[in-house]
Structure 1
Amino acid sequence: MSAEFVRPATAEPSTQSERETAWLAATYRPSEPNLTVRAVVVGMLIGAAMCLSNLYVFFKTGWSMGVTLTACILAFGAFQALQAARIVKKPLGVLENNALTTVASGAGYMTGGGNMAAFGALLMVTTFRPEPLPMVAWFGLIAALGVFAAIPIKRQLINQEGLAFPTGTATAETIRSIHDAAAGAGASKAAWLGWSAVGAAVLTWFRDAWHWIPTTLGLPLTLAGRSLAEWTLSLKAEVVLIGGGALMSFRTGWSLLLGGLLTYAVLAPSLLSRGIIDSVSYKAIVAWTLWPGAAILVASGLTSFALDYKSIARSFTGLTQIFRRRQAPAASGISAVECPEWWFPTGFIVLGPFVVALMVWLFQIPVWAGVIAVPLAVVMGFVAARVTGETDVTPTKALGPVTQLIYGVITPGNLSGNIMSANVTGGVGLHAADLLTTLKTGWLLGAKPRHQFYAQLFGVLAGAAIVVPAFNLILPDPSVLGGEAWPAPSCVVWAGVSKAFSGGIGALHSTAKTAILVGLALGTALALMEKFAPRRLRTVLPSPAGLGIAMVIPGSNAIAMFLGAAAAEWMRRKFPVTAEKTVVPVASGLIAGESLMGILIALLIVTGVLAA
């Protein structure tokens, strides 16, 4: 490593003021470029591309994939290529890459935080489809609220407590390593990402545009007198699923396989033989299995959330400190670097009324109920930020249902309001946590916090502008949501939870009600065992997220994601050095290549260039 990028000393000063003074003296690099025009432009372009990619992946798998690690590698590779072509003269700086990555993250995560889960669920349970411009404003305002919500807790969580924010820390290490290695590791990772993306794009074109490659490959076996493919148990030629699996933990991967086999090879045939479902199809099966699947996800999320009561208590303690102004006094010079705390209330005073107005106008939520949503979202945002800092998991699976339950009580029967009010808390929580994750990267690299705040807002603008028209492009007919081509598992879960909390559970088959109770018990038990079971037992416990999602996606998707997770795990165990250089770039390239080509093909079909 070059002397220019020496890490800060590991012996941390004890007080916040001492930490900030030491950071200003040893780490902060005010003279280096941060948020340059080219960083904003390229960051918005990469963020828009990753937003499109995440949109495609989300409706296929239910996950939004990480942005920051992929974005910093893409940015490095792009500028290396531009330099080689003599289009740019100066190489991309470390802090420029950090600012660029912050822009890209703000845009790329526009699909998360319940945004697309809520939008998809809204279209599944109602016939109402809002106009594009109001929805662009809706997503942009919610994300901007999350950005402002991060301001008052940044110094507490990062400067003082030094929370890990694992993804932010990993991104800092990645940026350091690729820039220090210059034409070595950095170029190698970018090349792996680029070539895997090209390969995935070519395969997708042959499969979806020219139909030379079949989408699925059935296995020559039968179950209950029907082919495995009819039970959705087949191999898929969708490398986006393999790439997504490679970015998951192996535990989540094998849990998906286990859940998929139990759902489609055990449970579904039993449902058919008992006459509970009347046909063998993905939609018929998932109409029943979504209830236990959603129950597992909600129960495990809420239980894990409740078990982390210390983080929740610290969140509320931090909240009272903000308003009582008990934070440590600003170290000399730090006030000129950090975002002023008055930006937080000003942002909410300015933006909050617009969010409430959209809630009333678009979703018929009473004004008083809309007003409640904004401070509730702030509190949830603070909690989400701390939990993310300590665990690297933003608890939207818990925050969404909590809000849906609250609004199911105060606005009974309002399905759209129930869903979109949860979107507010989930979106604010996600974008607050996302900015703090990138601020952690900046803290480790010596970046300017105010520049990262501006960068996140640029990313939010790009993401909001692209996500709604892209959704309308690839899913012009919302009736395909929840089908085998577009399983949209998170939308299915949000729609199911909304129906349940709005009084629709009474119409369910009695076996589905029993399955909900079993799912709640199983999700709670797994979350408790994750927390309290001996370490050896925890390694063999199935992931509740993997089991729950497996019950609302086709079995073929679960198989493909398991194969990706297994391949990545094998690489990490057998060839750890090679795996460190290749797994994340290759998996990210597979996802980006297929998803972006898939969206291009959808555009060509809509415009009549290609036949459907």
Structure 2
Amino acid sequence: MSAQGPVIVRQLRRHARHSADKLDGGHQEFTFRVAFFGLLIGCLLCFTNLYFGLQTGWISMMSLQSALIGYLLSKFFPTPMSPQENVVLQTIAVATGTMPLAAGFVGILPALGLLDEERDGVPPLHLSWLGAVGWSCAVAFFGVFLSPPIRKQVIIQEQLAFPSGTATAQLISVLHRIPPPDTVVRQRHGYRELETEEPQSIPTAELVAEHVGAVDVEEPEVVVQEGWGALIWSFGASGAMTLAAYFFPVVFSIPLFGNYLASEWLWTFTPSLSYIGQGIIMGFPTTLSMNLGMLVGWAILSPVAKHAGWAPGPVGDMTTGARGWILWVSLAIMCSDSLVSLVPVVAEIAHKKLWRGAIKLGDIDAEPTEQEEKEVETADRLVPTRWVIWGLAGSIVGGTLLVWLVFGNEGIKPWATLIGFVMGGLLSVLGVRALGETDLNPVSGLGKISQLFFAWIQPGNIVANIIAGGVAEAGAQQAGDLMQDLKTGHLIHASPRAQFFGQLIGSCLSIIVTTTAYTLYNRAYEIPGPSFPAPTAYVWLGLARLLRDGELPNKSGEFMLAFAVLFGAVAAFKAYAQRRGLRHVKWIPSGVAFAIGFLNTPSFSLARLIGGIVEHVYYTRVGRERGGIRLIIIASGFVLGEGVVSIVALVLRTWGIGVASCWGCGHDMCGGCPA
């Protein structure tokens, strides 16, 4: 590096600090009001994600929605909220709201509760409240301390797109009337300038438009005036429908094609506004992939497996029924899609030597490295390297100790947990890279990689297999979610250190909130059960049993192989199309979404398809420039309405207040009604 290097770096940092001061007026970014409202929104998201995660296995970061709701709430502040404060607020909300998936409450813990002593050699494991808190603490902070060094590589050095984070930054810039962030990706694919080569990925502007529309034509006053109204009525409508479904369960279990297909083949319809809202947020291409999977799984493979005698039990039985049979095909699709999607990422990492500009472990004020030359934040706004080192060491050692205290030597050996954390760190890099390129974090496939590895180093131990997969998935999930927020902060000139503090306090509170909510749900409902089937729990347990026993349901292996090859080819073509920037790439089916259509009964997928169609028709007719974010506000209200009011239903169930009428539930598919 030339002698002028440090001088140039200091000038860039002073310029960045000056720009940030102009944007936020020199205000503090991590403030009490930001922390309070970020935690408040995050707690609502936490309950919402736990509710929907246990129902369908799907959760959402809701970063864009958190920023929007935070902006609306800021109108009650005595002084305006700065754009940087909004970034920190939504960072706290995301860290709080995504813990149900990061700590395995929608998959890992229900899977441990499904263990069978006769078949698995160990009785079901139901953690106490304190045990669940210990497990959550073990995995809640590893990804947080992992995110600062990964940020330096993928956001500062390579400037990956992170479409959701970029979309959130665009929205915040519009709401707060600041210049739009510079989203031009100058360093991609080997750190070459894009001006000198053909684009190899979808332009960021297109990806942003797919998320939030052309928000630059909306005035903030319009957002506030119309936003509150749209949010309140959509929240109220969804909440009212949720309460109606609690007292009259048939509202959410309509026998769309008659009682016979509903009771025997599980074909019902759930006209939930929240699922429609999820479909709007997910978009038409994703919901279309999900419903294609639903049709193949439930209208073709399920009847074939039943009538051929491959799945002789009741259709809904996860062991001998068609639902359990198509689960294996779903697992093959998810693994194939995720692993093939990671191949380009792994190849690029190997070629460019990801950590060749390794982080210095010494004084942070030392002469900048080549990687740090691109860093425009001052040292007082960055997370010091020593914090990262001590934090990673503490989270790994402390996490290993906590897992040992919760599960004991018979559950998983401490050395195996330690290896799980190491694998989690390596897999997190892959997941974050894939997320930055494609906006998809393949955590399901990454967790399965860990399960495969642990089936080799600790064979026959189902509990260890599931726990190790959960540790790896937690790191990848959390690091990926936080990286989207750090991308938003980078574009809006928010302090990475303030975001880091927000991530820590959000994770801390979410441990208590998520554990308490899960404990209450476990007491009031059977999990997995009719109301909360927890479909991903069967995926975790099914793969662990397969790796131990090597036994598959009759004829399922052939279908698994065929669908794995098919969707491996589809994933490869989609990855190629994305890197070449081909048109209509979004219409290539998503293997993960297709597989989710197998996991969930048709009722969930159909409602989401309605939302996807609404999103497509609305923006096609109105246009993204005129459509803006109104539809997103309504969809957010739909999702939050059912998630929050479900807390009321949980309290009613805990107090022994049951349904008012089971009229229309002759198909025995209504949650809450006696079979």
TM value normalised by structure 2: 0.81
Percent of residue pairs identical = 26
RMSD after superposition: 2.6
1:105 pairs with 2:151: no
Q: How big is the shift at 1:412? A: 1.2
Name the CA distance, whole Å, in 2 between partners of 1:160 and 1:21. 19
Structure 1 residue 136: deviation in Å? Answer: 1.9
Q: Offset of 1:332 from its aligned partner?
A: 9.0
Aligned to 2:67: 72
Distance 1:346 1:187, change over 3 A: farther
1:93 aligns with 2:137: no
Deviation at 1:154, TM superposition (A): 2.2
304-313 or 366-375, which deviates more: 304-313
The code of the aligned residue for 1:382 comes to V
Q: Which residue, 622, 635, 656 being the options, matches 1:608?
A: 656
Matched, 1:515 2:559: yes
Return the offset for 1:187. Answer: 3.9
Q: CA deviation at 1:197?
A: 1.0
Whether the 8 Å CA contact 1:474–1:603 is kept in 2: the answer is no
Q: Which residue does 1:24 correspond to in 2?
A: 17
Q: Distance in 2 between matches of 1:477 and 1:315?
A: 52
Question: Which residue of the partner structure matches residue 199 of structure 1?
Answer: 237
Separation in 2, partners of 1:213, 1:382: 45
Work out whether residues 178 and 187 of structure 1, in 8 Å CA contact, stay in contact via their aligned partners in 2.
no
Deviation, 1:608, is 2.6
Which amino acid in structure 1 is aligned with residue 96 of structure 2?
A
Does the residue aligned with 2:394 lie in a helix, a strand or coil? helix
Partners of 1:420 and 1:431 lie apart in 2 by 16
* Residues 1:124 and 2:168 are matched in the alignment: no
What does residue 340 of structure 2 align with?
303
- Equivalent pair of 2:9/2:376 in contact (CA under 8 Å): no
The 3 A distance-change label for structure 1 pair 139 and 253 is: same
Please list the CA deviations of residues 73-123 of structure 1 after superposition, one character each: whole Å capped at 9, or x if unmatched.
11222233xx3xxxx422333222211111111101112346232222222
Question: For 1:234, what is the secondary structure of its paired residue?
Answer: coil
Q: Cα deviation per residue 1:376-408 (whole Å; 9 max; x = unaligned)?
A: 222222332232222222221221011111111
Take 1:250 and 1:605, find their aligned partners in 2: how far apart are those partners?
Answer: 35
How far apart in 1 are the matches of 2:438 and 2:576?
Answer: 16
Work out whether 1:493 is the aligned partner of 2:539. Answer: yes
**Count of aligned positions:** 585
The answer for the alignment partner of 2:549 in structure 1 is 504
Q: Deviations 1:217-265 (Å, cap 9, x if unpaired)?
A: 223469xxx4356322232132222111111132221122222122222
- One-letter identity of the residue aligned with 1:584: I
- Cα deviation code 1:440-499 (max 9, x no counterpart): 212222222111110111110121111112112223378542x55323232222222222
- The equivalent position to 2:521 in structure 1, one of 468, 471, 474, is 474
- Report the CA distance between 1:296 and its aligned residue: 0.3
Residue in 2 that maps onto 1:266: 300
- Tell me the secondary structure at the aligned position of residue 282 of structure 2: coil
Aligned residue identity for 2:170: E
Alignment of 1:21-60 (within 5 A): 22-27=15-20, 31-60=26-55
Following superposition, the deviation at residue 542 of structure 1 comes to 2.5
Paired AA for residue 40 in structure 2: L
Whether the aligned pair in 1 keeps the contact of 2:420 and 2:468 (CA below 8 Å) is yes
Counterpart residue type for residue 87 of structure 2: N
Name the residue aligned to 2:200: none
Q: How does 1:358-373 map to 2 (within 5 A)?
A: 358-363=402-407, 364-373=411-420
Contact kept, 8 Å, 2:381 with 2:498, in 1: the verdict is no
Distance 2:9 2:566 in 1: 43
Work out the CA distance in 2 between the residues paired with 1:548 and 1:332.
Answer: 42
Q: Secondary structure at the match of 2:254?
A: strand
Match of 2:274 in 1: 240
Distance 1:187 1:156, change over 3 A: farther
For residues 17 and 388 of structure 1, what CA distance do their matches in structure 2 show? 31
User: Residue by residue, what CA displacement relative to the aligned partner does 1:549-580 show, whole Å, maximum 9, x if unpaired?
Assistant: 11111012121111111111111111124542
Q: Which runs of 5+ in 2 are unaligned?
A: 1-7, 116-122, 178-218, 363-368, 660-671
Q: Does residue 541 of structure 1 match 2:541?
A: no
The answer to whether residue 312 in structure 2 is matched with residue 278 in structure 1 is yes
Quote the Cα distance in structure 1 between the aligned partners of 2:352 and 2:477.
Answer: 15
Equivalent position amino acid for 2:565 in 1: A
Per the alignment, residue 261 of structure 2 pairs with 227
CA gap 1:30/1:449 in 2 versus in 1, 3 angstroms? farther
Q: TM-score under structure 1 normalisation?
A: 0.89
Matched, 1:159 2:156: yes
| 8 Å CA contact 1:241, 1:560 repeated in 2 | yes
Partner of 1:348: 392
**Mapped partners of 1:388, 1:428: distance in 2:** 14
| Farther off after superposition, 182-191 or 544-553 | 182-191
Contact 1:178–1:184 (8 Å) recurs in 2: no
Question: Aligned to 2:222, which of 175, 184, 189?
Answer: 184
Deviations 1:353-376 (A, max 9, x none): 121112323332112212212222
- Matches of 2:71 and 2:311 in 1, distance apart? 52
| Contact 2:333–2:591 under 8 Å retained in 1 | yes
Displacement of 1:327 in angstroms is 4.7
2:142 alignment partner in structure 1: 145
Following superposition of structure 1 onto structure 2, how do residues 448-487 of structure 1 map, counting pairs within 5 Å? 448-476=495-523, 480-481=527-528, 483-487=529-533
